[in-house]
Amino acid sequence: MYHFVSMKIPISRQDQQPVYVLHTYPYLETSLVVELFTRNFGRVATIAKGARRPRSAMRGMLQSFQPLVATWSGKSELRTLHEIEWQGGLHVLKGQALICGFYLNELMLRLLPREDPHEALFEHYQQALQALTGEEAQSIVLRRYEIRLLQELGYALSLTQEAGSGDDIDAGALYSFVPEYGAVKASPQSANGSASNGSGLQNKSGIQLRGKTLLDMAQDDYTDTQTLQQSKQLMRTLINHHLGDKPLHTRQLLIDLQQL
Partner 1 sequence: MQTPTALEHLIEALRCLPGVGPKSAQRMAYHLLQRDRKGAESLALGLHNALEKIHHCQQCNNFSETETCPLCASGKRDPQLLCVVEMPTDLLMLEQTQTYTGMYFVLMGRLSPLDGVGPKEINLDRLLKRAQDGEVQEVILATNYTVEGEATAHYVGELLKARGLKVSRIARGLPMGGEIEHVDVGTLAQAMLERNAMR
**Is the CB of residue 81 less than 8 Å from the CB of residue 72?**
yes
What is the bridge-based pairing of β-strands 68-73 and 42-48?
A: unpaired
4 binds partner 1 (CB under 8 A): no
Please work out, in degrees rounded to the nearest 5, the angle formed at the alpha carbon of residue 216 by the alpha carbons of 184 and 211: 25
96 binds partner 1 (CB under 8 A): yes
Chain CA centroid to CA 71, Å:
23
Minimum Å gap between C-beta 169 and partner 1 is: 36
Minimum Å gap between C-beta 221 and partner 1 is: 30
105 binds partner 1 (CB under 8 A): yes
Q: What's the half-sphere exposure (Cβ side, CA atoms, 13 Å) at 125?
A: 32
Nearer to partner 1, 23 or 39 (CB): 23
**Is the CB of residue 85 less than 8 Å from the CB of residue 69?**
yes
113 binds partner 1 (CB under 8 A): no
**Range 220-259, binding partner 1 (CB under 8 A):** 249-250, 252-253, 256-257
**Range 47-86, binding partner 1 (CB under 8 A):** 60-61, 63-66, 86
Q: Which residues pair with 68 in a beta bridge?
A: 19, 86
> What is the C-alpha separation between 167 and 105, in angstroms, rounded?
36
Q: Which residues pair with 21 in a beta bridge?
A: 36
Nearer to partner 1, 11 or 257 (CB): 257
Residues binding partner 1 (CB under 8 A): 23, 25-26, 28-30, 60-61, 63-66, 86, 88, 90, 92-96, 98-99, 101-103, 105-106, 109, 249-250, 252-253, 256-257, 260
